[in-house]
Amino acid sequence: MLLKNDRYNVQGVDLVDLAEAHGTPLYVYDADKIKAQFDRLNNAFGDVKLRVKYACKSLTNLSILKLLRSYGSELDCVSIQEVQLGLMAGFEPAQILYTPNCVSFEEIKEAVEIGVMINLDNISILEQFGHEYHGSVPVCIRLNPHIMAGGNKKISTGHADSKFGISIYQMAHILRVVKTYDLNVVGLHMHTGSDILDAEVFLRASEILFDTAKNFENLQFIDFGSGFKVAYKTGDITTDIEDLGNKLAESFKSFCADYGRDLEMWFEPGKYIVSEAGLFLVKTNVVKTTPATVFVGVDSGMNHLIRPMMYDSYHEIVNISNASDTKRVYTIVGYICETDTFGLDRKLDEVKAGDILAFKNAGAYSFSMASNYNSRLRPAEVLILNGEAHLIRKREVFEDLVRNQIEIDI
């Protein structure tokens, strides 16, 4: 988002005009930023055989998936529905990693029929898989390294009390299952959490993976997950991707030399690729003064952007209607019948009813976690590509809310 002549724009598209044209609330995505993030990661690991698999749970719009496919990305999916969306967007089954957690075995069988790479994180499911397929279907195993990492416990997945992955302390049990069913283990996977700053976290996890890999003869890849930290405010510390790339690539090459052949390195970033590319535009409904606080009430709430309430996440907020006015302190809240505070005591250019506010870092886990709570409708989505705004999802209408309801005579 750039400021020129007191008007905010993305790729030259005026954001206030965009809000007027499509209404608010409105999700807006910048294709240039998505490409820049993808290219930066893709180029950070030198000549290592790298596959970037976009974690599509962060944003599953078909146009975004097609855009990333055009850049050379592959896909990481956590549900069979995400797999189906990936196929609709043109990804080949061989480009898709399916990493379920606590799903039925019937869903896993459906993914096998499609032909995607299966990534399992439960010994009992691994046993069922072996009983069903007897080594005929390649499989990846997700391990829990017992490394606490991430900015919030809810997004830390590699600690000892996590539901994700098979504990490295259960390796003897894993190897018995693999031997009993002659499983064809072609990959090992770890994901320790999100908002990881330090390359040392990945390096520590990699040493665990490398040591574990010695037990498997047929590996084709090692998947290091993701969790890279992006900037949420000016001056924020972020993951140094280039530093990580240099250090991890060197370690990986050394491992491959010891292993006896070159493997592929996989990553599955989601937020890193799309978070900073997204803006969420809302309109100010009311400015309400109380004895202690000046509230700005907007035409959205936790139903459209739940991360501040769920994860205490910070989203920078900008008044794009008044770009050079007097700064005042506001608390920005939503219209949901809950305490849905987007930002507490924020300095903004003076806000009036009708002004458009922009929430930054709204590309990841915004629309994908949106709901119809309070029977509110979900917003439209717009992609700005090559300097043009494209509507990529229509705003819901009331008929969408009741479409699948069945009224009975009472």
Domain ranges of the chain: 2-28+277-402, 43-272
DSSP code at position 228: B
Per the annotation, does 403 bind a ligand?
Answer: no
Per the annotation, does 133 bind a ligand?
Answer: no
Q: What is the pTM of this model?
A: 0.93
Q: Identify the helix (H) or strand (E) that includes residue 247.
A: helix 241-259
Amino acid present at 372: N
The model's confidence at residue 226, banded by pLDDT at 50, 70 and 90, is confident
The model's confidence at residue 198, banded by pLDDT at 50, 70 and 90, is low
pLDDT given at position 180: 96
Least confident segment among 16-25, 129-138, 176-185, 202-211 = 202-211
pLDDT given at position 184: 97
Tell me yes or no: is domain 43-272 CATH 2.40.50.100: no
Q: What is the chain's length? A: 410
DSSP letter for each residue of 92-149: -GGGEEE--SS--HHHHHHHHHHTPEEEE--HHHHHHHHHHHTT-S-EEEEEE-----
- Fold equal for 2-28+277-402 and 43-272: no
Q: How far apart are CA 256 and CA 115, in angstroms?
A: 27
pLDDT tens, residue by residue, 11-44: 999 999 999 999 999 999 999 999 999 999 999 9
Contacts of 258 (CB under 8 A, 6+ apart): none
Catalytic residue annotation: 337
% of the chain residues with pLDDT over 90: 83
Q: Identify the helix (H) or strand (E) that includes residue 187.
A: strand 185-189
Amino acid present at 327: K
Residue 157 has pLDDT above 60, yes or no: no
Per the annotation, does 307 bind a ligand?
Answer: yes
The tokens for 118 are 């299966």
188 or 324: whose pLDDT is higher? 188
Q: Which CATH number fits domain 2-28+277-402: 3.50.50.60, 2.40.37.10, 3.40.50.150, 2.60.120.260?
A: 2.40.37.10
Say if CB 308 and CB 343 are below 8 A apart: yes
Q: Identify the helix (H) or strand (E) that includes residue 55.
A: strand 50-55
Per the annotation, does 169 bind a ligand?
Answer: no
Residue 152 has pLDDT above 60, yes or no: no
pLDDT given at position 24: 98
Amino acid present at 298: V
pLDDT tens, residue by residue, 363-372: 999 999 999 9
Residue 155 has pLDDT above 80, yes or no: no
The model's confidence at residue 194, banded by pLDDT at 50, 70 and 90, is low
Residue 130 has pLDDT above 90, yes or no: yes
Task: Quickly count: other Cβ atoms within 10 Å of residue 134's Cβ.
Answer: 12
pLDDT given at position 148: 57
The CA-based angle 291-293-295, given to 5 degrees, is 125
Per the annotation, does 227 bind a ligand?
Answer: yes
